[in-house]
Amino acid sequence: MKARLLLVFLMFAATVAFAGDTTALRPPKGARVAIVTFEDLQCPDCARAEFILTDAVKETGVPLVRHDFPLPQHSWSFDAHVIARYLDTKSPKIGEEYRHWCFVNQPSITKDNLRGLSERFAEEHKVKLPENVDPTGKLAALVKADFALGQKVGVGHTPTIYVVSDSLRGQPFVEVVNRTQLVQMVNDMKKQVAAEKPEPTKKSINRKAK
């Protein structure tokens, strides 16, 4: 009986979470299907998922929308997300490469050496990292806003990955539980929306448009 009540409660909680704010679970302007991920640059499982995500983007041709979700127990993650946001202002491509670099080099990064390693990364990409990358706190606020958005959606772990669409019927988004099925899930979503008329354009929630 207790197990059944617990199951009902969990299903209800999930429903409430999704009923709160699913605006993040829509593709960016110009796309009908996309992959959305809430990630933590210090999360080992996010690092494992990184190549699955980038390979899926190459294979399916859909955009990848990243959202910051630095977990409080990680010592250097928040600072890395702020640096990534700064590099976005110089070049979205460099910001994207920095996030990938963090995942690849994650085991050798610490709170103490993050700054020095990031400066070296920036120099290699012909960008100078200022002493204070966020003097007004604007970039930190964007990271915190992404985190709050994830909480509204119901994100409880990293990475949390969704295949999303502008579908007018059926399930417009689905969480990716088995990452080996990501490409198939994207292709299935593309088929779902193929016969539908695109939804009227709304303001994009793409991280890079902030």
CATH number (domain holding residue 31): 3.40.30.10
> How confident is the model at residue 18, as a pLDDT?
43
Q: What is the pLDDT of residue 102?
A: 98
Within 13 Å of residue 24, how many CA atoms lie on the same side as its CB? 31
Domain that holds residue 176: 24-209
Residue 172 lies in a domain: yes
Identify whether 112 is part of a domain: yes
199 pLDDT exceeds 90?
no
Please report the pLDDT score of residue 10 as a whole number.
Answer: 33
Distance CA 190, CA 16 (A): 27
**Domain count of the chain?**
1
Is residue 106 in some structural domain?
yes
Least confident interval from 9-18, 48-57, 80-89, 168-177: 9-18
CB atoms within 10 A of CB 126: 9
Q: Is the pLDDT of residue 1 over 50?
A: no
Sign of CA dihedral 80, 71, 178, 188: negative
Residue 1 or residue 190, greater confidence? 190
Q: pLDDT value at position 17?
A: 40
Helix (H), strand (E) counts: the chain: 7, 4
Q: Terminus-to-terminus CA distance in the chain, angstroms?
A: 48
**Per-residue pLDDT reduced to its tens digit, 87-102:** 999 999 999 999 999 9
Q: What is the pLDDT of residues 140-190, one digit of tens each?
A: 999 999 999 999 999 999 999 999 999 877 779 999 999 999 999 999 999
Residue 187 is which amino acid? Answer: N
